[in-house]
């Protein structure tokens, strides 16, 4: 598509935003490779088109609404007919992660022996398996979303499947992180062998899977220049039905960002009410002092402040689990009823409101709030 055709297409579709994250183009494009190759074969329908686009300075996943709805409708029919299908997919995913663990051991061994040929081949194997998890994740997420919306009761077949899903969601990210450490060691090794200026972390952040493969296979790719350019000006990754590529043109990047930008008004000093979606109610009305956590660094530095407080975060990850034992409630900017915070709150029975969009912007450490979890409303008292 030409730039004008692309922009016209983007305007013709409805889109919604996924969660923000420390986005890695390599991880993202690897998962999408698996989604494209495997999802339709397994589930009977393709997943939605997506973009990884810079919004307010941070890459955000943007998803085609109507295509996602069609995909989730298929999931609803499948899980209503037989909720055990979700259990079977989770079991297959667990087996795949066991395989990835073995493949990572082989990659680590090749790197430690400084065997470049063997390490590249081992990396390709882990990468191919990880792509499969991308397909499995989309299907499991969709089936779990629909089962959650059916208000499954624990102790029933539906409820037991949902409980297994929640447990899986709380642990799969840690498996991915362990694999990421293995990849990081590989890229440190290969960058040194090929005398790159670019760090291993930036290689993973700013190169797509096809670009990494081309570079590893010896094609004439100036990796240092590509990464340096994307650090300066960002990028857009397209995974559309007719277009799959990385956009590097600054003008087109700006136009795509403008297409999706919908800035909310800055909160004022009198803007004392925040609204979100109840994820787990527990006690309906909770008063307390908030602690705002926006990063892993915040989480570590504020560890002693969190007990007995209301935790406010952009989103939660498995790293939050050890810090949540004594919190009064959880409030997040992002997420819905199947996000990590919602699942975590149900499992740990912690009152939780998600999807406020601006709680971390409005609230500050030490603010006193009254939280009506049942209604999803947070009011600043002082």
The model's pLDDT over 182-211, given as tens digits with 9 standing for 90+, comes to 999 999 999 999 999 999 999 999 999 999
Residues 227 and 81 in one domain: yes
Domain co-membership, 110 together with 208: yes
Please indicate, yes or no, if residue 268 is contained in any of the structural domains: no
pLDDT at site 269: 42
Residue 309 domain flag:
yes
Tell me: do 221 and 296 sit in the same domain: no
What pLDDT is stored for residue 51 in this prediction?
A: 93
Report whether pLDDT(88) > 60.
yes
- The Cα 363–Cα 353 span in angstroms is 14
Whether residues 240 and 283 share a domain: the answer is: no
271: pLDDT strictly greater than 70: no
200 lies in the same domain as 278: no
Residue-number span of the structural domain to which 328 is assigned? 273-380
- Asked whether residue 265 is domain-assigned, the answer is no
Residue 281 lies in a domain: yes
Which residue bears the tokens 């530095």?
A: 301
- Greatest C-alpha distance within the chain: 62
Please tell me the total count of domains within the chain. Answer: 2
- Does residue 234 sit in the same domain as residue 293? no
The sign of the torsion formed by the CA atoms of 368, 373, 378, 381 equals negative
Tell how strand 368-372 and strand 277-280 pair up: unpaired
Q: Mark whether 255 and 286 lie in a shared domain.
A: no
Residues 135 and 251 in one domain: yes
Last residue of a domain, one of 228, 260, 292: 260
Examine residue 19 and state whether it is found in any structural domain, yes or no: yes
235 shares its domain with 369: no
Spatial contact of 213 and 124, defined as CB atoms under 8 Å apart? yes
Q: Is the pLDDT of residue 153 over 70?
A: no
Percentage of the chain surpassing pLDDT 90? 57
Same domain, 339 and 224: no
| Structural domain ending residue among the three candidates 204, 229, 260 | 260
List pLDDT tens digits, range 323-371.
888 899 999 988 777 677 887 787 788 899 998 888 988 999 999 999 9
Q: Are residues 225 and 76 in the same domain?
A: yes
Domain boundary among 237, 260, 283: 260
pLDDT at 279 over 90: no
CATH number at residue 314: 3.50.30.10
228-244: per-residue pLDDT in tens? 999 999 999 999 998 89
What does R_g of the chain's alpha carbons equal in angstroms?
Answer: 22
- For residue 23, name the pLDDT band (cuts at 50, 70, 90): low
**Same domain, yes or no: 239 and 314:** no
Q: In what order do the strands lie in the sheet with 236-239?
A: 15-20, 58-64, 50-55, 236-239, 244-247
The overall average pLDDT reported for the chain is 88
Question: Does residue 266 lie within any of the structural domains?
Answer: no
Is 267 within the bounds of a domain?
Answer: no
Say yes or no to pLDDT of 140 above 90. Answer: yes
């Amino acid at each position: 598509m030409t730039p004008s055709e692309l922009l016209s297409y983007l305007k013709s579709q409805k889109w919604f935003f996924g969660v923000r994250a420390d986005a890695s183009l390599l991880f993202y494009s690897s998962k999408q490779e698996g989604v494209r190759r495997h999802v339709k074969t397994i589930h009977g329908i393709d997943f939605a088109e997506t973009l990884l686009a810079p919004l307010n300075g941070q890459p955000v996943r943007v998803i085609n609404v109507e295509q996602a709805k069609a995909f989730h409708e298929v999931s609803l029919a499948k899980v209503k007919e037989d909720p055990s299908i979700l259990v079977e997919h989770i079991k297959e995913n667990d087996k795949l992660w066991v395989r990835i663990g073995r493949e990572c051991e082989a990659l680590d061994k090749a790197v430690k022996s400084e065997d470049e040929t063997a390490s590249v081949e081992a990396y390709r194997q882990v990468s191919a398996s990880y792509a499969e998890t991308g397909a499995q994740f989309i299907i499991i997420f969709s089936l779990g979303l629909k089962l959650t919306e059916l208000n499954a009761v624990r102790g029933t077949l539906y409820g037991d499947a949902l409980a297994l899903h929640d447990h899986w969601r709380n642990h799969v990210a840690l498996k991915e992180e362990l694999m990421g450490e293995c990849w990081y060691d590989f890229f440190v090794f290969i960058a040194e062998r090929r005398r790159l200026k670019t760090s291993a972390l930036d290689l993973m952040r700013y190169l797509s899977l096809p670009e990494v493969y081309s570079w590893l296979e010896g094609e004439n790719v100036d990796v240092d220049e590509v990464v340096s350019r994307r650090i300066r000006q960002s990028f857009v990754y397209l995974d559309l039905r007719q277009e799959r590529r990385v956009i590097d043109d600054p003008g087109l990047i700006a136009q795509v960002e403008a297409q999706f930008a919908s800035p909310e008004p800055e909160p004022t000093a009198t803007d004392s009410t925040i609204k979100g979606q109840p994820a787990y109610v527990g006690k309906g009305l909770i008063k307390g002092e908030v602690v705002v956590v926006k990063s892993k660094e915040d989480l570590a530095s504020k560890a002693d402040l969190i007990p007995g407080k209301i935790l406010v975060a952009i989103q939660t990850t498995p790293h939050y689990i050890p810090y949540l034992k004594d919190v009064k409630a959880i409030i997040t900017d992002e997420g819905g009823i199947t996000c990590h915070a919602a699942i975590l709150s149900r499992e740990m029975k912690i009152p939780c409101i998600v999807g406020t969009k601006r709680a971390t912007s409005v609230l500050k450490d030490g603010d006193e709030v009254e939280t009506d979890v049942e209604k999803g409303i947070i009011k600043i008292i002082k």
